[in-house]
Amino acid sequence: MELKNKKVFITGATGFIGGRIAERLWIDHGIKSKCLVRNFSRAARLGRLPVEMVPGDLLNRSSIEKAVQDCDVIFHCAYGNTDSLAINRHINEQGTKYLAEIALRNRTKRFLYLSSVAVYGPHPAEKITEETPTQFSNDEYGNSKIRTERICRDFHMKGLPVVVIRPTAVFGPFSPIWTIGAIQRVLVGGWERVQGVDGICNAVYVDDLVDSLLLSIKLDKAIGETFIISGLDTLTWNDFFAEYSKISGMPKPQSISETRRVLKSHLSSILRTGVHAARKFADPLIMDFYHRMKDAYPSLTRTFDSLIRGGIKKNEIEKFSWRTIYSIDKARRILGYSPRTFAEGMRITAKWLRHHQYT
């Protein structure tokens, strides 16, 4: 199916990936999407585009019903991100059911669900393909993605043309975790080369992910399929963070032993507790003092920030040690998916970071 003149509805368009989909649809295809907006406080990026903002959330059936009725394509990127797991689960599952029901009734031509490789659980095998069984675990985000995928598949059985995309670690402009979070981490010395921790980072540039979604619309053979979407290069988390250190002008992350990491981690934990307690009693005074010090002695406050932040935490060691590789063979074969190199993605990301004064 060609995208030209198609009407598109996006959930999660105020977020990182949904926002990029809306941008690409407008810039590359001249499509003014309809975008579900739950919180207008987050809509500044989306507001640059000539999109139609539909107020409401996934559980607001009437607003979705009205917005979706003439749409050919639905990108479903929204997910519950409240503090309550129960509410998130309800938003993800009930909301997806509503959306899929309405889409089925309206004979929507493509329903693209943005899932995640989190469906494979926290102890993935060394090589993962779409055939690898998904795994429930204590990660509620991954569990919810598994359940929502199942809802999508049920609707596919009823006739909804569903495609499920499972991206890996998505980086690029506006990526809250793997770009903004990563640069902020390296800027306060939050990454170090811990001996024995050298896991594989399956990073994918955001536009490669969007390419895979657009290819899934173009090619009818994608209907009913699930695709893992990762980047071209096999690199480690150490390589990944070293690149952010490079573009931020920071020294290369230091090598430290596990014993030293543990000591640092304890020290930062004690400092953090102390600072939190002090701020409870005298916050304005402490922040005033901090701002003045930051102006007068920037390197000293950076060292202090680094001590507070600490390096890699205990609960991150396992995640950053996995040697898992997520295969993109199926996406290459069926979609003709052809991601750019990590270096190219980082080149553009570095420009964005500079423009937004992160570096």
Partner 1 sequence: MLRKHYTQNNDHIRFGIVGCGAITKIAYLPFFKTSTMAKLTCLVDKDESVISAYNEHSNLRYVGTNVDDMFEYVDAVIVATPNYQHFPIAKTCLENGKHVLCEKPLAITSQECKQLISIAKKNQTKLTVAHVRRFYQAAKKTKNLIYSEHFGPIKSFEFEEGTIFNWPANSGFYFDKKLAGGGVLIDIGVHVLDLLLWWFGTRLRKVDYIDDNLGGVEAVAEINIQLSNNIEGSIKLSRLSILKNRYNISFENGWIEWNPLFPKYFYIYDYRKKTKKTIKMSNDLPVIDMVEDFIFSIKHDRKPLVSGKDGLQVIELIEKCYQVRKPLPLEWLKKN
| Residue 333: other Cβ atoms inside 10 A | 9
Rounded Cα gap, residues 148 and 133, in angstroms = 15
By CB under 8 A, tell whether 67 contacts partner 1.
Answer: no
The DSSP bridge partners found for residue 111 are 74, 162
By CB under 8 A, tell whether 290 contacts partner 1.
Answer: no
Rg (CA), the chain: 22
Nearer to partner 1, 32 or 153 (CB): 32
The DSSP bridge partners found for residue 220 are none
User: Using CB under 8 A as the criterion, what x/- string covers residues 296-335 for binding partner 1?
Assistant: ----------------------------------------
Nearer to partner 1, 48 or 266 (CB): 48
Nearer to partner 1, 50 or 336 (CB): 50
The CB-of-37 to partner 1 minimum distance in angstroms stands at: 7
- Among 57, 269, 348, 359, the residue binding partner 1 under the rule CB under 8 A is 348
Residue 197 in contact with residue 254, Cβ under 8 Å?
no
By CB under 8 A, tell whether 12 contacts partner 1.
Answer: no
The two tokens of residue 258 are 């596990």
By CB under 8 A, tell whether 356 contacts partner 1.
Answer: yes
Rounded Cα gap, residues 194 and 82, in angstroms = 33
Nearer to partner 1, 23 or 225 (CB): 23
Nearer to partner 1, 174 or 322 (CB): 174
From the list 81-89, 322-330, 331-339, 350-358, the region that binds partner 1 by CB under 8 A is: 350-358
By CB under 8 A, tell whether 211 contacts partner 1.
Answer: yes
The CB-of-296 to partner 1 minimum distance in angstroms stands at: 8
* Residue 258 neighbours by CB under 8 Å, 6+ apart: 194, 195, 196
* Cα separations in angstroms, 4 against 29, 197, 281: 7, 47, 60
| Residues in binding contact with partner 1, number by CB under 8 A | 38
Rounded Cα gap, residues 192 and 242, in angstroms = 9
User: Using CB under 8 A as the criterion, what x/- string covers residues 141-180 for binding partner 1?
Assistant: -------------------------------xxx------
Nearer to partner 1, 207 or 243 (CB): 207
Rounded Cα gap, residues 128 and 286, in angstroms = 49
* Cα separations in angstroms, 188 against 170, 181, 241: 22, 11, 12
Rounded Cα gap, residues 47 and 58, in angstroms = 20
Q: Which residues of 151-175 are buried (b: 16+ CB within 10 A; e: fewer)?
A: bbeebbeeebbbbbbbbbbbbbbbb
Q: Residue 106 has what DSSP assignment? A: T
By CB under 8 A, tell whether 46 contacts partner 1.
Answer: yes
The CB-of-32 to partner 1 minimum distance in angstroms stands at: 8
Interaction site with partner 1 (CB under 8 A): 23-24, 26-28, 32, 37, 40-51, 53, 55, 172-174, 207, 211, 288, 291-292, 295, 348-349, 351-352, 355-358
